[in-house]
A and B are shown apart, each in its own frame.
Chain A
Amino acid sequence: MSIRQSLLAILDQGPCYGYQLRGEFDRRTGSTWPLNVGQIYNTLDRLERDGLVAKADTDSEGHVYYAITAAGHDEVTHWLDSPVVRTQATRDELAIKLAIAVTLPGVNISEVIQVQRAASLRTLQNLTRTKNATSEPESSEELAWMLVVDSMIFAAEAEVRWLDHSETRLARASARGFAEPLPLNTSSPKRGRPVKAEPAAQAAQASQTEQLAQAERAKHVGQAAQAKHVGQAAQAAPAGQVAPAGPLTTDAVR
């Protein structure tokens, strides 16, 4: 989370002491990601070390104020001007679960999808209720909070849509006989890293919106790569030692 830049952006509005900074962060994010004072002071220490803030006055109650430096101001401007690149999508855990589940025998994958979809919808229902309990925002704090709730709502929606999409994809794959479980490969794997530059690893670094599309492309690349390596590295593996298998091919190496 961009706590560092957020705190810096607040300090760009004027000097603050640690506890005050925490209050400002909370009220501007709907108290959705509460920070403890320790996190605040750690961050301030690092910002000071990097020359982005400097200690300023101490008031009569002993509060130490921090003020932004010119370099700090530039950092804020840069932060606001640049897109946020997501390196870790929260959906990963779920994508991994489905990807693995689809390769296992005896797993009712439609059931896995449905259980998840029902749970995701409940989350979405709860968020919607929270939001519905509030009328149109009447202050910028409320507006900020509403933006955060909306963001969670849209994320939950994306998850449900992705599950719908996966279900349809699965049905189509089954109809064409491509949704068979993957047995473990029976020959021993070579030591070390058998295949370099895994397409799936690249996909993990892509932004969230690009991720599915990229995984899609990676699948084709992966199939080609796997075909090439069938005789060599991808000759795997006693249980537990399967080489990083790479792409989510469903019609694999037999």
Chain B
Amino acid sequence: MTGNDTMKTFLETVLAEADYQPVRLLKILRAVQAQYRHIPATAIDFLSDKLNIPRTQIIAVVEFYSFLHATPQGRYDLLFSDSITDRMQNKESLLAYAAEILKVRVGEVRKDELVSLNNTSCTGMCDQGPAGLVNGYPLPRLDRPKIDTIAALIEQEIPLDDWPAELFQVEETIYKPGLLLTQPFSNGDAIKATFNRGLTETLAEVDLSNLRGRGGAGFKTALKWRTCAIQAATPRYVICNADEGEPGTYKDRMLLNLYADQVFEGMTLCAAIIGSTQGLVYLRAEYLFLYEKLQNVLQNRRDQGLLGTTILGQAGFDFDIEIRMGAGAYICGEASAQIESLEGKPGIPRTKPPNSVICGYLRKPTVVDNVETFFATTHIAIKGGQWFADVGTPQSTGSKLLSISGDCARPGIYEYPFGTRISEILSDCGAEEVMGVQIGGPSGTFISNRELERTLAFEDLSSAGSFMVFNHTRNIFDVVQNFTDFFAHESCGFCAPCRVGTSLLKNQLNKIIDGHGSAVDMEKLSEICMVVKNFSHCGLGETAANPILTTLASYPELYLEQLKRSGFSPGFNLDATLAIARQLTQRDDSGAHLSQQVEN
């Protein structure tokens, strides 16, 4: 057989596994990438023909996702997680070391195509960094000896399956289990409770619990479910958002690794309530190591009558769950972008209205909820809404899982009632000499050590799980720069303000950090922040300026110092240029003002 014929046979197999469905394009392309280390042009033409979709769609998908490539990558594709917490654990020097001993430059493929090396956005191993990925599988806690081992395995061309298992050992460390993590649970408990109580009554309990979505936006879960349930259109879909791309977030990883049954059970009771037969889990590419395990959990549940037809003997209740993998794109955590991705397209957020609840997957009513949200509903279905509502604050009921990373003695998973003070969390995780905390990841809020009495809550500091601690040895600009680069890298590029604005922000910030900025440049920086924040199409753009805005509001004097280095003009009212930052972060306290007189 010629190479082309072999490829066709391979593609036919892959297509058959995907049932020739264009919505499974990512699955198909992931398989092609794994086999050929890129997506060959001939494969694009063949797939376009067989799936009856324009080749432009396939090319657009290939170019959109970080883990799909138009040109061959190394047989060992080695990526280093480039989040700020990896950097704080020496990632830069390890990456340089890997480049040196593997004789390959960062961002390139070695001539013999044995190995390629690059950076990648946060891989969700922030408690066990610095972390990497090899051919999609995680390599936590990297250090020089491990890199030596890895390099030797690569040079000897040892298949990944034969690498020492401890290289891939992901640990789940729960330091503080709370309301939900301590609940007893047996498979089927929540489904039984739901049917015993009644579907409407269970939805009323979810309503009473006042549960708000754990994925970031904090939308009231019961309202979303009810809206979906009353739509006339069918079928309706349940999607579990396991994209977890916000740097510093890894609590969904832990839940899927240790509590998957309770997450799937939440999806199942949601399906019963909204009248759905099909569930999808959108699992981020970085969590490939969980795929097999989750498939087994699903199969077990089918065997136990908890998925499939006539679930737990309930006539007419049929529901099953399919896991679909992402391919490296933070924006696919945004619900409508995720739906686009699930339909085999680039993850570009849709225009609203209509909302996904009304017009979602395949234009049908769809509930998209975070992993932790489904996990919480499982226990609300069992214990009732009041039990949950009794914890937390009136506006933020229940508890929240935090994934803590950065400068602390005990990075790991913590569960707190909403309303807990940041200072208490810091003391629990063993953080000392704190300079600041990033709450909610790059898209969230940076607070200085003057604000540690603020609380974890939707109405104060909200977080989907990310909680990064920085001590006094850290340079705030390393943090801001890393986050700002992240957004420029992850902008989907659909809308002009974010596509161009995030890259402008990156360059403008660099100019100031490099000491080439004048007061006018500060003003320009604030101005770009304003346009990106207020005029972008989706939440990515709306929050992309937050790292700059919130650090500017917390530590304006540090920015000022950067300017002083290069002919700062004292006639300029720098405090006035901070007005935009204050307005956008809704702060007007003394910390957000420059009090000192500028001396020449």
Do A and B pair up? The answer is: no
Which positions in B face A, CB cutoff 8 Å? none
